[in-house]
Amino acid sequence: MRIGVVDSGVGGFSVLAELYKMMPAEHYFYLSDQENAPYGNKETSFLKERLHLLTQELLKEKVDLIVVACHTATAEAIESLRANFEIPFVGIEPYLNVLNQRQSPNEDYVVLVTETTARSKRFLDLKGRLDPTSLINIFACKKLASLIESYFHDEMTKGDFEVELKAELELIHNLKLSQPSLSSAILGCTHYPLVMRQIEAATGLKTLFPGEAIARRTKERLLSLFAYSAPIDSSTNGFSYRRKVTDPWQHRPWNYLQKVSLIG
């Protein structure tokens, strides 16, 4: 199968890593929109336009399904994508249904999202449905995705990144100190899992990201739509990556996936 993956920047690697782990024999086409990364402060009309363009580019590669590996893009554009393209899409939303699995009624959570996601109707409707009594705090990160982009591309040192990260999440750290029941941070942007260990160190919270569940959902969709089954030969076709829409495809640039496990 040929699977498309889209994100504004490097965040989609947190999803691609899980897809590859679960379905290593497929060929993935990861197209990012680096010129406009991150999407977290963009307007809805702009996001719809860009996601339509990214989809058209992936269709040229004859992909069978597209994973929108971006919470903001899912919140603002996936309904438009489904209405305008026949290809199936798998989106990603913050893991708010963790409330149904918590082991103690005294556990509290905070969800870290981008500014655009925080005000999107889709996200607010989801939170209203899954968290009607507002047990989950919402924290809109102003520049965390941008910091991760710079750090991933070696445009800032680890030390500088950790200083900036600590400043960005200082309010969460203080909330944890004043609210001992606060136990976990739900990562509501695919960039954030790339540095989950550093987020945990800066906030004192456990991080939650349903990457495996996204991969499992993608596999289920392939099974239901295409009677998909993993090839007996488990050798990989690898993946192709374009950092910008105007760039050529890079085939099997494994250094990017290797870096996912290193930068956190």
Which of 66, 148, 189, 214 is flagged as catalytic? 189
The better pLDDT of the pair 142, 229 is held by 142
The pLDDT confidence band at residue 231, using thresholds 50, 70 and 90, is low
Tens-place pLDDT, residues 107-135: 899 999 999 999 999 999 999 999 999 88
Contact status, residue 211 vs residue 18, Cβ threshold 8 Å: yes
The pLDDT of residue 221:
95
CATH numbers and ranges of domains, the chain: 2-92+211-260 (3.40.50.1860), 96-208 (3.40.50.1860)
For the question of whether the overall pTM of this predicted structure is more than 0.75, the answer is yes
Model confidence at 262: pLDDT above 80: no
25-37: average pLDDT: 95
Which pLDDT score is estimated for 55?
98
- H-helix or E-strand spanning residue 6: strand 2-7
User: What's residue 226's pLDDT?
Assistant: 87
The single residue of 16, 70, 182, 194 carrying the catalytic annotation is: 70
189 is catalytic: yes
